[in-house]
Amino acid sequence: MEGVQIGLFAFLGVLELAMLALAASVIFLLRSNRLSRRIHILEKLLRQQEDIPDPVSFDQYLRDEVIRNEALTEKAAASEDESEKKAAELLRFRKRFLEIELEANALVANPVAFQDRIAAGICELVEIMRPDAETVEAEAEPSATVEFEEAPDDSADEDPGRKLIDTSEEEINHLKDVINNQQDAMSALRAQLEGHAEVEGMEDALKQLEDFEKQSTELERCLLVLEKENKRLKDAQREGGDAVKTIDPADPARLTGLKNMVGGQQETIESLRKLIVELMPEASKAGELEETLNRIQRANQELSGCVSVLEDENAMLRSELEMIVLQLDEQEAQQNEEGAPASTLEQIQEMEIKVQELEALVEFKDATIEELEKQYNALEVKYREATGE
């Protein structure tokens, strides 16, 4: 009886081990199926990943786009369709933009140089797209006899003087936008500086910012003078007047005053940047102010580009006026000696009116430049008093 009981216990023990082994095998089987499904999914994802091309860097992307843009430009330029030719011109403009991005990307390690290159490139593109001011063309006649062409119909061709005034008005509006953007950036900078008013020495930074705001206000006031003079020139063009026979050449150095004003703003920006770095060396605080200062600096650089445009246009107008008036005097002297018909005298009078309009435009720009120079000298004295230089 005891032997039977021992055999029963052994049987039950073996049976329990068998059941445990069966349960373990079922668990392993289920886990194996789950792992096999996961492996299948991973293999599928791996095959899809192999089909995706390797990512290219931004620099390589720009180079590829330049090559692709050149191919599109050549294809559009070869077409006889006018719309395709215009598209080719726009594609050339895009190519230059991509090249500027590529050049600036090489300077990404230097944020200041990067921003300067972008700003200079954008100014270059703006100058390319800006319409040139129309001027009256006057050519010297080789023969002794002066021959005049038939006066063009006013309805067919637009008056060059009108084009000059319209172009000047566009430049005034552009300058106004630049100054408005600059003032917005200065307001943001003032808010940030006042938020850190507890920093020792912050009063000096606020004082320099106040001087800079005064300079911007003076520029805005000069723009109002420009708008008033431009309106007066339009009224004078409609009313007409006596022709001007001579030109009183103005000193080209007058434009230096306007340039110096913009340069003074640039120096104020650099002084503010150095002062902020000294007062707030923490990267988190100085970074926000640095970004705002960079916005002001970019607006100032754009303003400098606008000043250069005014300088070039003023020099061109002066040279055209001198040439036209000289030719007009020669033609009048010759007509007085030979006797001029009535139609010829009318054409001479029309040319004299155009000369008057051009000279009025030059005088208005010279007066504005002189006013800006006076305001700059006053601001420079205030700036030196504030900074103790």
pLDDT tens for the chain, residues 1 to 389: 455 556 778 888 888 899 999 999 999 999 998 899 999 898 888 887 766 666 778 888 888 899 999 999 988 888 888 888 888 888 888 888 888 888 888 888 888 888 888 888 888 888 877 755 444 343 434 433 333 344 444 444 445 445 545 555 666 666 666 666 666 666 666 666 666 666 655 666 666 666 666 666 666 666 666 666 666 655 655 554 444 444 444 444 444 555 555 556 666 666 666 666 555 555 445 565 666 666 666 766 666 666 666 666 667 777 777 777 777 777 777 776 665 555 666 777 777 777 777 777 777 777 777 776 676 666 666 656 655 55
- Rounded Cα distance between 127 and 171, Å, is 12
Residue 166, helix vs strand vs coil: helix
> Does the predicted TM-score (pTM) go above 0.85?
no
Specify the pLDDT at position 23: 92
CA distances from 116 to 58, 121, 209, 298, 325 (A): 20, 8, 22, 8, 43
Handedness of CA 183, 185, 191, 197 (dihedral sign): negative
Specify the pLDDT at position 143. Answer: 39
Residue 48, pLDDT score: 77
Number of other residues whose CB lies within 10 A of the CB of residue 95: 18
Q: What is the pLDDT of residue 325?
A: 74
